[in-house]
Amino acid sequence: MIFIGIALLIACGLALIVGTDAGGLLGLTQMQTAQVIPLVVILIVFAGGAFSRRRAASELLGSLVLWIGIFAVAGVSYAYRDELTGMVGRVAGEFQPGVAMIDEERGTATFRRDMGGHFELQASINGHTTPMIFDTGASAVVLTLADAQAAGIDTSTLRFTIPVATANGTGQAARVSLDGMEVGGIKRKGVRAFVAEAGALDTSLLGMTFLETLSRYAVTSNSLELTD
C-alpha cells in the first residue's frame, strides 16, 4: 500500500507537470506528457498487484522484466507508429493489390501490382464497387456492359456507335457521363466514359478521362501512386 501511495503521488505530480512547461525538461511536449500519464497509472496498477503478496525474488524480477519489456515495445510502437502504419498497409496491399493504401496528408492512393503484372483497382462507380485495370493506353474510362448496368446506367438507351480497340479486338462502345467516381478515396463527378458492348471487354479500364484530372500519377516497378 505504501508503494502504491508513493506511485500515485508520482502520477499526480506528472498531472501537474502537464499544466506547465516542465515536461520540456524531459524532452516531451505537453501533449506527449499527458499521454504518458495513463501508461504510468496502468503500470501502478500492475505493480501494485505484483507487490500485494509475498513472492520469490526471482518471480518478482521476472515480472518486472516482463512489464518493462511490454512498456518498451509499446513505447517503440508509439514512436514509430507512422512507419508501422505504412508497413502494415504495404503488407495488406501485397495480399489485396486492388485495395488502396491511402495517405490523407499527401492526398495519395497507392496500389500494388498483382500477380498477373497488372494494377487492378477497386473503384466506385455511382456508389457501386467496380474492379478496374489501370490503363494509360485507354483514352477514357471504359466500363463493361455488366459493370455499367450494376452502376445503375440504363444501357438499353445507349447507342454503341463508337469503335474502340480492346484486348478482345475491335468493338463498339457508347459514350456516357458518370455521376460519381471514386478511386482510392479520390472523388470525381461527371467523368466522361465509354460503355463497351457485350463481349467486347473482360474488365473495366481506368483510362485517361479520370487520370488527367489528377495532379500526378506515377508507376514504379511494383506500385502505382495516384495524387489528388
pLDDT of residue 200: 84
- For residue 193, what is the DSSP state? E
The mean pLDDT value for 185-213 works out to 92
Answer yes or no: is pLDDT of 92 > 60.
no
Q: Enter the CATH code of domain 97-227.
A: 2.40.70.10
> Of 71-85, 111-125, 154-168, which range is least confident?
71-85
pLDDT of residue 164: 82
The mean pLDDT value for 198-202 works out to 86
Dihedral angle of Cα 76, 78, 83, 85, to the nearest 10 degrees:
130
pLDDT tens readout for residues 13-36: 555 554 544 444 445 555 555 566
| Chain mean pLDDT for the chain | 76
pTM passes above 0.85: no
Cα–Cα dist 34/20, whole Å = 11
Structural domain boundaries in the chain: 2-79, 97-227
Cα–Cα dist 55/47, whole Å = 13
Cα–Cα dist 89/121, whole Å = 15
